[in-house]
């Protein structure tokens, strides 16, 4: 009887401790987002504020477009180590992080205006280079198609396939494989329970200690998932807009693909059973190669040992390819 009492008391203590932990975490998070980090700064956009970070000095300008729902802080180590005569820019799109949160302003079509606002604040008048990851590639394609004279080159990392609708159907047809919208809702539930403060959002990846808090706070903020779901729900509209706009400019385009086995392991860690993950992997390899048709100057590389988040697992490769993109363009200019 006494043993049962102690067991019940232990369960109560654990539940109470968990509740207090989540409560304290939420209070800390509110305070965190009321005091913007001095790592970045703000640009004004239609009476809204866009939080962005710039590293480096010089004429070459690289803009990093992170995947839907992800944190720009994931890219800060890459920014710090790039070491080139130019500037590297990361940003929180409207609705994320310290940027203004307003669902009325969340639209893929606003991205180009948001980016142009930052470029104006930074007094950038020359064409830029774009680096995009995952679903961020769709924003990159939209900007390149609608601003062809403003882009010198592009680097796409683990890109979502050109045929997004075919990809979405493939995901839907595979057992126990959640859609992006379902994944966003699942992550929101996890964030609401404070789990990302105990277990980091990236299983199998080591986060940079300097920016770990930034990343954890980003993924623990439940409002970010409202923005994420809004963006995902509008992807087909922006893809239709891309199809009706000018073609992708004939610029150098390098595509970094993840290796098959590490990518499958990442999906299994996220909760997909191995059989379904392998089916998904085969479909991704089949469909994602269509991006090479965007430009006659497209090339690709499979990054050995790299999974879904190449920028976290193999940042040295990303840094090397960014530097190569810029140096090759400069060499072509003077030849």
Tell me the pLDDT tens digit for each residue of 90-149.
999 988 999 987 655 566 678 889 999 999 999 999 999 999 999 999 999 999 999 999
Give the pLDDT score at 334. Answer: 38
The confidence band for 88, taking pLDDT boundaries of 50, 70 and 90, is very high
Confidence class for position 335, pLDDT limits 50, 70, 90 = very low
Q: Is the pLDDT of residue 180 over 80?
A: yes
Mean pLDDT (the chain, rounded): 88
Residue in 111, 104, 98 with CA at minimum distance from that of residue 71: 98
Cβ neighbours of residue 173 closer than 8 Å, sequence gap 6 or more: none
pLDDT for position 236: 85
Per-residue model confidence (pLDDT) at position 324: 93
Confidence bin at 18 (pLDDT 50/70/90): low
Q: What is the pLDDT of residues 281-333, one digit of tens each?
A: 999 999 999 999 999 999 999 999 999 999 999 999 999 999 999 987 665 55
**3-state SS class at 88:** strand
User: What pLDDT does residue 107 have?
Assistant: 66
Instruction: Specify the 3-state DSSP secondary structure of 141.
Output: helix
Find the mean pLDDT for residues 73-97. 91
DSSP state of 36: -
pTM above 0.85, yes or no: yes
- pLDDT of residue 1 exceeding 80, the answer is no
**What was the pLDDT predicted at 3?**
67
Q: What is the mean pLDDT of residues 13-41?
A: 76
Q: What integer pLDDT is reported at residue 21 of this predicted model?
A: 67
Which pLDDT does position 108 carry in this prediction?
A: 62
CATH of 41-334, one of 3.40.50.10070, 3.40.50.1820, 1.20.1250.40, 3.40.190.10: 3.40.50.1820
CB of 159 closer than 8 Å to CB of 131:
no
Q: Quick one: average pLDDT of 260-268?
A: 95
**What are residue 153's DSSP bridge partners?**
129
Bridge partners of 155, per DSSP, are 131, 254
Alpha-carbon gap, residue 218 to 103, rounded angstroms:
17
Highest mean predicted confidence (pLDDT) among 24-28, 128-132, 177-181: 128-132
Per DSSP, the residues of 41-87 read EEEEETTEEEEEEEE--SSEEEEEEPPTT--GGGGHHHHHH---SEE
- Interatomic CA distance for residues 52 and 213, integer angstroms: 17
Q: What pLDDT score does 330 carry?
A: 61
Q: What is the mean pLDDT of residues 145-159?
A: 95
């Amino acid at each position: 009887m006494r043993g049962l009492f102690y067991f019940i008391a232990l369960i109560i203590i654990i539940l109470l401790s968990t509740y207090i932990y989540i409560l304290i975490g939420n209070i800390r998070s509110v305070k965190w987002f009321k005091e913007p980090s001095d790592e970045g700064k703000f640009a004004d956009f239609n009476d809204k504020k866009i939080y962005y970070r710039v590293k480096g000095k010089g004429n070459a300008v690289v803009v990093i477009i992170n995947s839907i729902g992800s944190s720009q802080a994931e890219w800060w180590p890459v920014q710090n180590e790039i070491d080139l005569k130019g500037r590297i820019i990361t940003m929180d799109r409207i609705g994320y992080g310290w940027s203004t949160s307003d669902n009325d302003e969340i639209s893929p079509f606003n991205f180009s205006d948001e980016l142009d606002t930052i470029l104006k604040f930074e007094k950038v008048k020359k064409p830029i280079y774009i680096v995009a990851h995952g679903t961020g590639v769709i924003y990159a394609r939209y900007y390149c198609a609608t601003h062809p004279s403003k882009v010198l080159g592009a680097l796409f990392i683990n890109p979502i396939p050109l045929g997004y609708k075919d990809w979405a159907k493939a995901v839907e047809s595979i057992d126990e494989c959640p859609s992006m919208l379902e994944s966003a809702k699942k992550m929101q539930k996890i964030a609401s329970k404070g789990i990302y403060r105990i277990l980091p959002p990236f299983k199998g990846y080591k986060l940079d200690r300097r920016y770990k808090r930034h990343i954890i706070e980003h993924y623990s903020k439940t409002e970010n998932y409202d923005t994420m779901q809004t963006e995902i729900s509008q992807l087909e509209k922006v893809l239709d807009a891309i199809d009706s706009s000018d073609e992708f400019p004939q610029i150098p385009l390098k595509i970094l693909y993840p290796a098959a086995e590490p990518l499958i392991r990442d999906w299994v860690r996220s909760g997909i059973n191995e059989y379904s993950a392998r089916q998904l992997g085969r479909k991704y390899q089949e469909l994602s190669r269509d991006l090479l048709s965007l430009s006659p100057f497209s090339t690709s590389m499979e990054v050995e040992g790299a999974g879904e988040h190449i920028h976290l697992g193999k940042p040295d490769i990303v840094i090397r390819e960014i530097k190569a993109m810029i140096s090759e363009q400069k060499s072509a200019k003077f030849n």
